[in-house]
Structure 1
Amino acid sequence: MTFQSQTAIVTGAGIGIGFAIARQLARQGASVLLNDLDEEVAQLAADRIRQEGGRCLAFAGDVSDVAFIQKMVDKAVAEFGKLTIVVANAGITIFGDFFDYQPEAFQKVVDLNLRGSFFLTQLAARHMREQNEGGSILLMSSVTGHQAHPGLAAYSMTKAALEMLAKNLVLDLSPYGININAVAPGATQTERTLDDPTYVRIWSRITPMGRPATVEDISNAALFLVAPQSRHITGQSLVVDGGWTAVSPPPV
């Protein structure tokens, strides 16, 4: 696969899965606008990609803010000339007991995971429609959108909704040559999960493949779905979880 002449926005890409996706896209020739809420983290990530020879621009901000999303799309087009790939990776996880879950936490999860992804897709697709060259959009779901997980009722709801959004938008986007899919990662080793000394041990025990995913496992799937060669794949959700959803034991 090659991404020469492709231009991409990847949100929530300062670290973890988002960074791995942005890095691989840049390594394979794409020009990447890398978003993160934290300006310093975004800049450090973009610097690292540029040091490896990639073309990458940091653009920090809150992608639950529709006005910011428009600025981000405009910046990508102004900098790179067009927009052909969008990866809506930014999201937030807030655990909580259902009976005590607070409205403030619920709103944060819905605003970023759903509102942000929906309007990033809308504003990017508008520009792709005007370009008349097609494009690829990828939403970041989760295995919790498929199987119940303790303490994640609100988060799981948003992830299942994103997969339905990908399916529904086939109707709207296909006439313009734009495909849209979702990736649903399972347990994945990132900078955040490595803070938990029990994470790898527990998920290695309950994952049929014997380990949690790496960020490269997820980014490999993401690049497959946004590659120009995969444009006929649309409205699908690809689970990358080492087989966990086939058996679904809870992480206890």
Structure 2
Amino acid sequence: MKKNTNHITNKVALITGAGQGIGLEIAKTLAHKGYFIVLNDMEKSLTEDAVKEIIKTTGDRAIGISGDSGDVDFVAEMVDLAQKQFGQLDVAIANAGITLFGEFLNYEPSDFFEVMRVNMGGTFFLAQAAAKVMRQQTSGGSLLFTSSVTAHQAHKNLAAYGMSKAAIEMLAKNLVIELSESGINVNTIAPGATLTTRTAEDPEYERTWSRITPMGRPASVQDIAHAAAFLVSEEARHITGQNLIIDGGWTSISPSPY
């Protein structure tokens, strides 16, 4: 791996669900801090465009791999790519997830199991594969999972999604027992309403969440990315098993957007 002394670090970060939105912003933020990035998204075009965007501003510091982050074999492929390309893996961020809305009484089993496969399974097995690599490194590593405020407060039509996000927060706590001795810290972030390409498709989204968020606006992707970058940094090495809610105070009062 080529070292670049103009950057703060030369660590390697693998980020799933990073073709757009929060994941892409985390990838860009870490690249600017000197990380080499292995970027994943389900959609090939999003992966390719995201890598090009990072390379344009930070140099040749990113590679992409498209595929299903909920597939165990593909997870192993991503981790292997990071090792083969850069010789190490310092940070793994399980950001990929899906949201399938639906009323509890009518929720389809196929939707339920798909949410659990991607959100819970994708997170669990990325953490497992990455930790196996990190425990062999004298420097250990950092794991970060993307949760949601719906793991803390009820949200209409998101029972399965909220359940999956609460589960990965418990996973982070539990892994403290098994991974701390290997120098691996594990944390989660729980974004609230966030302005992304997807949420911008709703013309009422920003106005609605600005009205009910104590800080007067939904989060930007930069708000989330800065918090993520801190939790995987050297400055946060003694922080583990924790969850950081980034929601402008919404969970403190929890008014419904409906």
Which TM-score band (shorter chain)?
over 0.9
Find out whether 1:165 has 2:171 as its counterpart.
yes
Q: Give a deviation string over 1:144-183, Cα, whole Å, max 9, x none.
A: 0000000000000000011110001000110000000000
Looking at structure 2, the residues matched to 229 and 76 of structure 1 have their Cα atoms a distance apart, in angstroms, of 23
- What letter corresponds to residue 208 of structure 1 in structure 2? P
| Structure 2 partner of 1:10 | 15
Structure 1 equivalent of residue 58 of structure 2: 53
Give, as a single letter, the amino acid of the residue that structure 2 aligns with 1:95.
Answer: F
In structure 2, the residue corresponding to 1:86 is in which secondary structure?
strand
- Which of 94-103 and 3-12 deviates more? 3-12
2-side partners of 1:118 and 1:86: how far apart?
A: 11
**Aligned amino acid, residue 166 of structure 1:** A
Q: Which amino acid aligns with 1:27?
A: H
For 2:234 and 2:144, how far apart are their aligned partners in 1? 13
Aligned equivalent of 1:44: 49
Query: SS in structure 2 opposite 1:43?
Result: helix
Cα distance in 1, alignment partners of residues 44 and 220 from structure 2: 25
3-state SS in 1 of match to 2:190 = strand
Q: Measure, in 2, the Cα distance between the counterparts of 1:82 and 1:8.
A: 9
Aligned to 1:246: 252
TM-score normalised by L of structure 2:
0.96
1:223 is matched with which residue? Answer: 229
Counterpart Cα distance in 1 of 2:198 and 2:72 = 27
Q: Which residue of 1 aligns with 2:197?
A: 191
Contact 1:3 1:25 in 2 (8 A): no
Q: Report the CA distance between 1:3 and its aligned residue.
A: 5.0
CA 1:186–1:59 in structure 2 vs 1: closer, same or farther (change >3 Å)?
same
* 3-state DSSP of counterpart to 2:208: helix
Aligned sequence identity (%):
54
Unaligned runs of 5+ in 2: 1-6
Q: Deviations over 1:111-142 (max 9, x none)?
A: 00000100000000000011232100000000
Structure 1 residue aligned with 2:24 = 19
Q: 1:164 and 1:53 mapped to 2: Cα distance? A: 35
CA distance in 2, matches of 1:91, 1:19: 14
Match of 2:58, SS state, is coil
CA RMSD of aligned residues (A): 0.8
Which residues of 2 match residues 57-206 of structure 1 at below 5 A? 57-206=63-212
Q: 1:160 & 1:63 partners in 2: Cα distance?
A: 19
Matched residue SS, 1:59: strand
Q: Aligned residue for 1:29?
A: 34
Residue aligning to 2:3: none
Q: Is the 8 A contact 1:3 1:227 kept in 2?
A: no
Q: How much does 1:39 deviate?
A: 0.8
Q: Which of 212, 216, 229 is the equivalent residue of 1:210?
A: 216
Runs of 4+ residues over 4 Å off in structure 1: none
> What's the TM-score once normalised by structure 1's chain length?
0.98
The AA in structure 2 aligned to 1:58 is G
- Cα separation, partners in 2 of 1:146 and 1:3, compared to 1, 3 Å: farther
